[in-house]
Amino acid sequence: MKALVIHGKQDLREQEWATPEPQDGQVRVRIAWGGICGSDLHYYHEGANGAFVVREPLVPGHELSGTVDLDPSGELAPGTPVTFHPATFGECQPGLEELPHLWPKGAYLGSASTTPHTQGGMSEYLVVTRGMIRVLPEGLSLKRAALTEPLAVALHGINVAGGVEGKRVLVCGSGPIGLLTAAAALAKGAREVTATDVFEGPLERARALGVHHTIRIGEQTPDAEAYDVALECSGVPASIDTAIRAVRRAGIIAQIGMMGAGAQPLELAMLISKEIQLRGCFRFNQEVDEAIELLARDDRFDLVITHEMPADQAVEAFATAKDAQVSGKVLVSLWS
C-alpha cells in the first residue's frame, strides 16, 4: 500500500509500505481523509514533537476517517463509514480508574512517543483494535468526520472547565483547535464567545463560525475580569497571562493548547490573588462520541476546513497547514 512517511526533519515521502493484515479483535480500514495536526507539523518541520524525536520512519496522522475494508469477525460490513478513538490506553493507576487517557504507558496513532513508534493513518489502510472504531451515523460525511479527534480535544477542554452553558467565554487562539473550541462553545450554549488571535485570517474564520466578538492581540486587549471561562488554545505563555487578566475572580482557565517542555514564564501573582483555577487538559476520554454526535447535527464545523489536498501534494499540504494566516484545518485525501 501507499503511505506518507516522515524520515526526519522536512523529509516526508510517499512510499510503499507493507499492507497490514488484521488479527482477531482487529479491523482494517481504508482511510479516506487525514487531518494535519500540530503534532504532525512538529514531526515534519522539526523532526520532533517536544521530547519525542523521529528515530525511525513514522507514518503520521490520527485525525482520520474511512471505510471498513476487512473485519475478520464479520461484525462490520465492508464499506461501513468509520472514524477512530486513536488512543491505546496504558496501565490503570489508583485514583485514575475513570480517566484512561491519563494512564501511563499508553500510545497514540502517529506518535514517536513509543519505540517502536506507533504508526498513524496517513496511508491507504490502517489496522486498529475493534474498540478504537466508531461507526458514523447516517448523514455524517467522511470529510467532516475527520474533525472528530480535534473536536474531541476541544470538548474535553470545555468539560474540564466545568462547561460553558450560559457563561461568557474567551477562546485564546483561533487556529484549528481554537476554531473548533469556539464552535463547540457556541453549540453548547455559551452566552457569549470571544475569540482572539494575532492574525486576521484566523479571526475571519472565527467570525464565520458565529462568535460574538474577536480581538486581534497586539492591537486590542480583552477587558479585565470580563469572562467566566477562558479556553486557552495557543499554548503561548503570554496568552495564558492574557487569560489570567481577562477572567473574573474565581474564574477558570482550561489549558487546551500544548506547552513546550521545560519551565514557562507566567505571571502567577494575579492568578493567586483572584483565586483563578488553571486546569490542564490532555487529549480526551470519551468525548470522541460526543464529537461525532455534534458533527452529525451541526454543519458549521465544515467552515473550519479550509484546504483539501491530495496525498501527492502532502509536502505542500504540510507547508500550508503551518501558515496560520491562510489555513484552518488542512485535510489530506488518502488515495481512497
For 186-251, the DSSP string reads HHTTBSEEEEEESSHHHHHHHHHHT-SEEEEBTTB-PPTT-EEEEEE-S--HHHHHHHHHHEEEEE
pLDDT tens-place string over residues 281-336: 999 998 999 999 999 999 999 999 999 999 999 999 999 999 999 999 999 999 87
Say what percent of the chain tops pLDDT 90: 96
Contacts of 219 (CB under 8 A, 6+ apart): none
Weakly modelled stretches of the chain, pLDDT under 50: none
Question: Among positive and negative, which fits the CA dihedral 204, 255, 187, 62?
Answer: positive
Reply yes or no: is the peptide bond before residue 222 cis, omega within 30 of 0.
Answer: no
pLDDT reported for residue 336: 74
| Residue owning grid cell 472565527 | 206
- Interhelix angle 200-209/176-187, rounded to 10 degrees, is 20
125-140 per-residue burial string, b: 16 or more CB within 10 A, e: under 16: bbbbeeebbbebeeeb
DSSP SS3 for 73: coil
pLDDT reported for residue 261: 77
Quick one: which of 29, 123, 178 has its CA closest to 314?
A: 123
The chain-wide mean pLDDT, for the chain, equals 97
pLDDT reported for residue 322: 97
Q: Which amino acid does the sequence have at 107?
A: A
Residue 7 CA, chain-centre distance (Å), reads 23
pTM, two decimals, is 0.97
**Residue ranges of the domains in the chain?**
2-135+299-333, 151-280
Topology of 2-135+299-333 in CATH?
Answer: Quinone Oxidoreductase; Chain A, domain 1 (3.90.180)
DSSP code for 74: S
Quick one: which of 288, 321, 292, 287 has its CA closest to 304?
A: 321
pLDDT tens-place string over residues 117-150: 999 999 999 999 999 999 999 999 999 999 999 9
Topology of 151-280 in CATH?
Answer: Rossmann fold (3.40.50)
Residue 106 CA, chain-centre distance (Å), reads 18
pLDDT reported for residue 259: 85
